[in-house]
A = this chain, B = another copy of it.
Amino acid sequence: MIEAEFLAALRTLPLHPGARGLADDAAVVAGLIVTTDTLVENVHFLSYDPPGDVAWKLVATNLSDLAAKGARPEGVLLSYPLGDDGWDRAFLAGLGEVLTAFDCPLIGGDTVSLPVGAPRVLTVTALGGNAVAPPRSGAHAGDALWVTGTIGDAGAGLAIAKGAPGPAELLDRYRRPQPRLAEGRALAPLVHAMMDVSDGLLIDASRMAAASGLAVTIDLAAVPLSPAGRAWRGDALAAATAGDDYELLFALPAGVEPPVGATRVGWFAAGAGLTLVEGERPVPLPDRLGFEHTPF
Contact partner of A293 (CB less than 8 A), chosen from B77, B111, B123, is B111
Count, chain A residues at interface, CB 8 A:
73
Write out, one digit per residue, whether chain A residues 125-153 have a CB within 8 A of any chain B CB (1) or not (0). Answer: 10101000000000000000000000000
Min CB distance, A206 to chain B, in Å? 19
Min CB distance, A47 to chain B, in Å? 10
> Do A107 and B14 touch (CB < 8 A)?
no
Residue A19 CB within 8 A of the other chain = yes
Collect the chain B residues with CB atoms within 8 Å of residue A109's CB: 10, 22, 36, 295-296
Interface residues of A (CB under 8 A from B): 1-3, 6-7, 9-10, 12-19, 22, 26-27, 29-32, 34-38, 40-44, 74-75, 77-83, 85, 88-89, 92, 95-96, 99-100, 103-115, 118-119, 121, 123, 125, 127, 129, 293-296
The 4 closest A-B pairs by CB, nearest first: A121-B121, A16-B105, A110-B295, A16-B75
Offer 16 A-B interface pairs, CB within 8 angstroms, sorted by A. A3-B111, A9-B92, A12-B96, A14-B104, A14-B105, A16-B106, A18-B75, A30-B127, A30-B129, A36-B109, A40-B118, A44-B112, A108-B296, A109-B296, A112-B293, A125-B125
